């Protein structure tokens, strides 16, 4: 009987999920995202369409799908995005087609988006979305991280700090909230959430048939 159960179990397919990481700039979502992609081959980054110029070292189709504003606006009108937003003058959007197909095939996607994008995803595909928000341990630590990375001017840092207050106010729109006071501890918690969400009953395709077979079998 054990061998029959194992055979049936081996045919089960899992629906993919949309794993969202959001945080204010400097709270660690980029670092955690990179660590997750390096550690887990079963999840890949959702590739957004953007109107911003391509940067040195970036690859079209890998980092982003680069396009012009007119084309982007046309895609919005045609309903080709699951979510989209304009940030600092540039537009970013998640293509419907690639995500829908991937989820059906059991592919997990990682999203590095803000609360507005998360809200849009949740409205369109709630059962597939796993929203996680990362908080800094303090405002002072957030400012220190932004300053010490040395990539932004004082004016830009001030703008990011002001934006952070607004972003943090939307923490209660997420299913999971983690205070990122230590990168490795935060990363471990993120992986635990992902592992648990992959096992949710709603994502186990074929589970009903499998259980029915178990119930029909002799003890």
Tell whether 164 is covered by a domain: yes
Among the listed ranges 85-89, 134-138, 214-218, which one has the minimum average pLDDT value?
A: 214-218
pLDDT of residue 53: 94
3-class DSSP state for residue 92? strand
pLDDT of residue 217: 66
pLDDT of residue 10: 52
Tell whether 194 is covered by a domain: yes
pTM assigned to the model? 0.82
pLDDT of residue 28: 87
pLDDT of residue 68: 97
Tell whether 31 is covered by a domain: yes
Q: Which tens digits make up the pLDDT trace of 11-67? A: 678 999 999 999 988 898 989 999 999 999 999 999 999 999 998 999 999 889 999
Structure tokens at 107: 């592919």
Count of structural domains, the chain: 1
Tell whether 120 is covered by a domain: yes
- Average pLDDT for the chain: 89
Structure tokens at 114: 């803000």
Query: What is the CATH classification number for the domain harbouring 212?
Result: 3.40.50.300
Between vectors from CA 43 to CA 42 and to CA 44, what angle results, nearest 5°? 130
Tell whether 150 is covered by a domain: yes
CA 128, CA 113: separation in Å to the nearest integer?
16
Tell whether 123 is covered by a domain: yes
The share of the chain scoring above pLDDT 70, in percent, equals 93
CA 145, CA 139: separation in Å to the nearest integer?
10
Structural contact between residues 32 and 21, judged by C-beta atoms closer than 8 angstroms: yes
Instruction: Determine the structural domain holding residue 126 and report its residue range.
Output: 2-46+106-216
Tell whether 55 is covered by a domain: no
Cα dihedral sign, 3-6-10-11: positive
DSSP character at residue 219: -
**Whether the predicted pLDDT of 2 surpasses 50:** no
Tell whether 94 is covered by a domain: no
Among the listed ranges 74-78, 88-92, 109-113, 215-219, which one has the minimum average pLDDT value?
A: 215-219
Q: Which tens digits make up the pLDDT trace of 63-102? A: 899 999 999 999 999 999 999 989 889 999 999 988 999 9
């Amino acid at each position: 009987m054990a061998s029959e159960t194992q055979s049936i179990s081996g045919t089960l397919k899992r629906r993919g999920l949309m794993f969202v990481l959001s945080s204010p700039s400097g709270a660690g979502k980029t670092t955690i995202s990179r660590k997750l992609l390096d550690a887990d081959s079963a999840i890949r980054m959702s590739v957004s369409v953007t109107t911003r110029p391509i940067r040195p070292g970036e690859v079209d189709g890998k980092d982003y799908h680069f396009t012009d504003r007119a084309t982007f606006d046309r895609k919005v009108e045609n309903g080709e995005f699951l979510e989209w937003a304009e940030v600092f003058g540039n537009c970013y959007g998640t293509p419907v087609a690639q995500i829908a197909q991937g989820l059906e095939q059991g592919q997990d996607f990682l999203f590095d988006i803000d609360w507005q994008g998360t809200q849009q995803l949740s409205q369109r595909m709630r059962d597939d979305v796993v929203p996680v928000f990362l908080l800094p341990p303090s405002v002072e630590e957030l400012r220190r991280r932004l300053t010490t990375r040395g990539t932004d001017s004082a004016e830009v840092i001030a703008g990011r700090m002001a934006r952070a207050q607004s972003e943090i106010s939307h923490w209660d729109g997420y299913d999971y909230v983690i205070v990122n006071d230590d990168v490795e501890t935060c990363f471990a918690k993120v992986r635990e959430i992902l592992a648990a969400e992959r096992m949710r009953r709603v994502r186990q395709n074929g589970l009903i048939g499998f259980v029915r077979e178990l119930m029909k079998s002799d003890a």
